[in-house]
């Protein structure tokens, strides 16, 4: 977002909300059309007087299949937005669309589907004292949301904090009955009803890799595409096709290499984390919790989020003579991670930064950034091998 000027940000906001309205069947058609016209009005104003904005018909047509940079005034080609699109040529949403609605939109709370998640997150953040009434979510960072949520959990004690945070990682979807037994999570109000964008026929399905509700997209043929919102999980096979059966139910078939077919469960009785908490708490926590389990299986003593969450894992072996202070980094953008590490070159101490194995090729870059700070950079496989050999 820092690459864009004020007008381009306004145009992006309008495009994101319009794309969500175009690709949704939620609500009445007249309400969606009003929202689309409002979006086009904001879009036109973002072009000012020196550049001709497209008509509504052209605007709606360009949202399908166009790269984001081609939709913005000035067309910023040297940008990550030159690689993103909002809707495919069939009008189906991209994996980036919901993330942009949460991270880059002033009006995302008005959008069909994901808007309910954003409004819930607004309420949660206000409840923990982060957002004044009337403040929007636009450009609030994932780190800021994590800080607010984790601070609220820590207020009820470190044990409850650890259990609550681990539950948000391991079980991003819960039955209402199970949730009622976790006082800290109930008081936090993190879980909410399953979004309309991730259900079909009163049913939902969990991603086999992260356990969260997969996005459900109706095709004109009546088939429903069901896939994880995380692009990497989808590429690895967490994508399915749901078709109605002759007896009135639904049948789920895999579309990727992953042949595990999740169970279809009723929406009634279940609650889920909103999109932003899944994105900023569940996804980064998966590797942290997995590493804790793998290292504990080797006989190591492992504590999650120790010393008030100073880092992610405190690992000791051989009677405490070997210690690893581990900070897990699961950023999708290794160059962005390198820049973040570079910002505080003197603050790393003896931390061991751990990145996923698929980022092994970026180790030389990341190691150059922390050189001289006392920190190390390893992959998760490297860390497990090192602890196993200690």
> What is the tally of structural domains in the chain?
4
pLDDT value of residue 90: 83
Q: Reply yes or no on whether the pLDDT at 5 is more than 90.
A: no
Same domain membership, residue 58 and residue 141: no
pLDDT value of residue 77: 67
pLDDT digits (tens, 9 = 90+) for 29-45: 899 999 999 999 999 99
Give residue 48's region: left, alpha or beta (phi > 0; psi -120 to 50).
Answer: left
Q: Indicate the pLDDT class of residue 86, thresholds 50, 70 and 90.
A: very high
Asked if 281 contacts 124 with a C-beta cutoff of 8 angstroms, the reply is no
pLDDT value of residue 147: 83
- Three-state DSSP state, 312: coil
pLDDT above 90 covers what percent of the chain?
48
Same domain membership, residue 373 and residue 337: yes
Q: Indicate the pLDDT class of residue 270, thresholds 50, 70 and 90.
A: very high
pLDDT value of residue 44: 94
Closest CA to 104 of 248, 211, 8: 8
Q: Among the three residues 193, 218, 242, which one is the final residue of a domain in this structure?
A: 193
Same domain membership, residue 20 and residue 101: yes
Same domain membership, residue 98 and residue 32: yes
Is the whole model's pTM more than 0.85, yes or no? yes
Same domain membership, residue 202 and residue 186: no
Q: Residue 356 and residue 85: Cα distance in Å, rounded? A: 26
The reply to whether 291 falls in a domain is no
Asked if 169 contacts 285 with a C-beta cutoff of 8 angstroms, the reply is yes
Q: Among the three residues 193, 225, 240, which one is the final residue of a domain in this structure?
A: 193
pLDDT digits (tens, 9 = 90+) for 193-230: 998 889 998 999 999 999 999 999 888 788 999 999 99
């Amino acid at each position: 977002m820092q690459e864009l000027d004020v007008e381009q940000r306004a145009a992006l906001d309008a495009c994101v909300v319009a794309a969500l309205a175009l690709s949704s069947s939620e609500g009445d058609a007249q309400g969606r059309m009003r929202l689309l016209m409002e979006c086009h009005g904001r879009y036109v104003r973002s072009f000012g007087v020196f550049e001709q904005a497209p008509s509504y018909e052209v605007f709606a047509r360009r949202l399908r299949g166009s790269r984001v940079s081609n939709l913005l005034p000035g067309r910023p080609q040297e940008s990550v937005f030159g690689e993103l699109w909002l809707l495919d040529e069939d009008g189906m949403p991209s994996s980036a669309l919901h993330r942009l609605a949460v991270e880059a939109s002033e009006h995302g709370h008005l959008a069909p589907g994901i808007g309910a998640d954003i409004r819930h997150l607004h309420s949660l953040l206000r409840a923990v004292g982060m957002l004044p009434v009337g403040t929007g979510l636009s450009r609030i960072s994932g780190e800021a949301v994590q800080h607010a949520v984790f601070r609220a959990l820590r207020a009820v004690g470190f044990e409850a904090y650890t259990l609550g945070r681990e539950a948000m990682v391991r079980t991003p979807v819960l039955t209402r009955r199970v949730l009622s037994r976790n006082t800290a999570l109930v008081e936090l109000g993190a879980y909410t009803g399953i979004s309309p964008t991730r259900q079909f026929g009163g049913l939902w399905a969990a991603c086999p890799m992260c356990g969260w509700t997969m996005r459900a997209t109706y095709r004109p043929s009546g088939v429903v595409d069901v896939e994880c919102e995380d692009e990497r999980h989808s590429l690895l096979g967490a994508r399915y096709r749901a078709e109605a059966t002759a007896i009135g139910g639904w049948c789920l078939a895999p579309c990727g290499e992953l042949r595990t077919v999740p169970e279809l469960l009723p929406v009634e009785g279940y609650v889920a984390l909103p999109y932003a908490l899944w994105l900023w708490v569940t996804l980064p926590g998966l590797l942290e919790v997995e590493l804790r389990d793998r290292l504990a299986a080797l006989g190591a003593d492992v504590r999650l989020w120790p010393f008030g969450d100073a880092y992610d894992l405190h690992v000791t072996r051989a009677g405490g003579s070997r210690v690893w202070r581990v900070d897990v980094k699961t950023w999708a953008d290794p160059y962005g991670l390198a820049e973040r590490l570079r910002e505080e070159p003197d603050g790393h101490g003896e931390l061991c930064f751990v990145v996923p194995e698929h980022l092994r090729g970026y180790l030389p870059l990341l190691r150059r950034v922390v050189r001289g700070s006392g920190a190390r950079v390893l992959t998760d496989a490297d860390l497990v091998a090192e602890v196993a050999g200690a």
